[in-house]
């Protein structure tokens, strides 16, 4: 059922009368969870996955890979196995593939399907059907695939994969890990070398996982960007995966601890891929007391434990070049900036306009309705901090079916003078199952209004 058709679930966060304390784990990394299921289905043999995020978005990917012929089985909480038939051997799905709210799943699966000679139709919920898909369908068409969708290439989208796929050579006009990954996934089933050049380095989970499953991938740094080369038609061999905690999910309890006086929270086994940790860099620049311990490598990805303590924050100016490493974290960073001394400016957030919602406008609105001065200047977000005193709060936030807007608003409410309410928290489970319960375990007060 469309989320839009299901009953709204409003939720209210009350100002904390006590510090937030505890040691927690956040759900598995969403980006890595999607890719683990996809690569497991494309590889030969049995891949075991531990720590898989079991949110709605990832479960849609699991269902899609099952429909494409993979054996995808849950063995226990976070523990799954995928038995693949090998690259090039996907089955034509018998029904429409419903990707729910997940833009990552929809775009990456477009890449997989583009170079397989099968027909498929993708759809999604009302939010996903509004999101642009031309950014992947246009480059993928060059491999020989054909796409038919609504205006702007939007879902529902019919895909006729190439009978004899051609390798791709594509320069991304804007930095996007999803577009890069879609092109590389299409290149897996094409002969010769597929090349992708990105203007700014974006998260490289796809490249890491390609190597983990036996593909030959090289990366050449070119200024602030990179050129990725993939040798086509490799034999992908099953490989076990440990999914680290999602740094994008860790951001919410982390910022909550920063803004609630007296708090100290440790988040264990968080992914520390340097192309995902722009938020941690920015918060440190703002004066956050944030330490990392127990650094290690798990499944080809760096992992560590993050401890954060409440303290005064200073305003920051975040350069546009940092956006790819923290694109999902701007709403919660804006919440941190609302408590800081001074005026923060986050530059060139145009990419936020095509997320689950127009996330730039929605972020400004969640602050404004809670008495925080904020402006959008071009594609920059400008947040005037409260100077160390709690912002007013008291607002009702329209989430626009966006899980990150909902969670950011609820974190804001833990530190404001009056409670903050969101119109609907139903979508939070797409990326962070059990968010409210985890926050309550730290001492937060979140309840239905």
Q: Annotate 206-244 with b (16+ C-beta within 10 A) or e (fewer).
A: bbbbbebbebebeeeeeeebbebbbbbbbebebbebbbb
Distances in whole angstroms, Cα of residue 198 to Cα of each of 182, 188, 396: 13, 18, 39
- Identified catalytic residue from 29, 204, 328, 402: 328
* Beta strands per DSSP E along 151-263: 154-160, 169-171, 193-198, 217-222, 225-231, 241-242
CA distances (Å), origin 24, targets 27, 65, 284, 338? 10, 31, 21, 25
Alpha helices per DSSP H over 213-313? 247-259, 278-285
The SS3 assignment for 313 reads coil
Contact assessment for residue 42 and residue 112, using Cβ atoms and an 8 Å cutoff: yes
Alpha-carbon distance of 117 to 160, in angstroms, equals: 7
Q: With the C-alpha atoms ordered 22, 34, 106, 137, is the resulting torsion angle positive or negative? A: positive
Q: Is 348 tagged catalytic?
A: no
| Structure tokens given for 353 | 């306009």
Distance CA 175, CA 198 (A): 6
Helix (H, G, I), strand (E, B) or coil at 411: helix
Contacts of 372 (CB under 8 A, 6+ apart): 338, 383, 384, 386, 391, 392
Active site members: 328
């Amino acid at each position: 059922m469309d989320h839009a058709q299901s009953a709204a679930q409003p939720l209210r966060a009350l100002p904390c009368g006590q510090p937030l304390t505890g040691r927690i784990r956040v759900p598995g990394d969403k980006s890595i969870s999607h890719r683990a299921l996809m690569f497991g289905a494309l590889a030969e043999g049995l891949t075991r996955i531990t720590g898989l995020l079991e949110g709605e978005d990832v479960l849609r990917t699991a269902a899609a890979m099952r429909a494409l012929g993979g054996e995808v089985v849950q063995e226990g909480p976070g523990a799954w196995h995928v038995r693949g038939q090998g690259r090039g051997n996907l089955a034509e799905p018998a029904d429409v593939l419903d990707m729910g709210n997940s833009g990552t799943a929809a775009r990456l699966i477009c890449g997989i399907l583009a170079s397989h000679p099968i027909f498929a139709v993708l759809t999604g919920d009302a939010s996903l059907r509004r999101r642009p898909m031309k950014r992947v369908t246009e480059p993928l068409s060059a491999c020989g695939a054909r796409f038919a969708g609504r205006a702007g290439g939007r879902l529902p989208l019919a895909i006729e994969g190439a009978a004899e796929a051609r390798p791709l050579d594509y320069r991304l006009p804007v930095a996007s890990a999803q577009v890069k990954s879609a092109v590389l996934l299409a290149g897996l089933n094409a002969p010769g070398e597929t090349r992708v050049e990105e203007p700014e380095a974006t998260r490289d989970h796809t490249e890491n996982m390609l190597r983990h499953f036996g593909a030959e991938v090289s990366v050449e740094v070119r200024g602030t960007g990179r050129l990725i080369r993939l040798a086509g038609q490799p034999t992908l061999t099953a490989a076990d995966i440990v999914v680290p905690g999602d740094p994008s999910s860790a951001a919410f309890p982390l910022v909550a601890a920063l803004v609630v006086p007296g708090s100290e929270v440790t988040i264990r086994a968080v992914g520390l891929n340097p192309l995902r940790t722009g938020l941690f860099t920015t918060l440190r620049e703002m004066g956050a007391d944030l330490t990392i311990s127990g650094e290690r490598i798990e499944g080809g990805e760096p992992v560590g434990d993050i401890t954060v303590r409440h303290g005064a924050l200073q305003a920051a100016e975040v350069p546009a070049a940092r956006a790819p490493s923290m694109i999902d974290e701007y709403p919660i960073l804006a919440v941190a900036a609302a408590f800081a001394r001074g005026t923060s400016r986050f530059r060139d957030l145009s990419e936020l306009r095509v997320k689950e919602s127009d996330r730039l406008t929605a972020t400004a609105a969640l602050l404004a309705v809670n008495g925080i001065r904020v402006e959008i200047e071009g594609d920059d977000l400008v947040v005037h901090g409260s100077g160390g005193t709690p912002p007013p709060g008291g607002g009702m936030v329209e989430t626009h079916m966006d899980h990150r807007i909902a969670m950011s608003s609820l974190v804001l409410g833990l530190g404001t003078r009056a409670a903050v309410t969101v119109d609907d928290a139903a979508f939070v489970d797409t990326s962070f199952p059990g968010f409210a319960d985890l926050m309550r375990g730290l001492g937060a007060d979140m309840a239905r209004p």
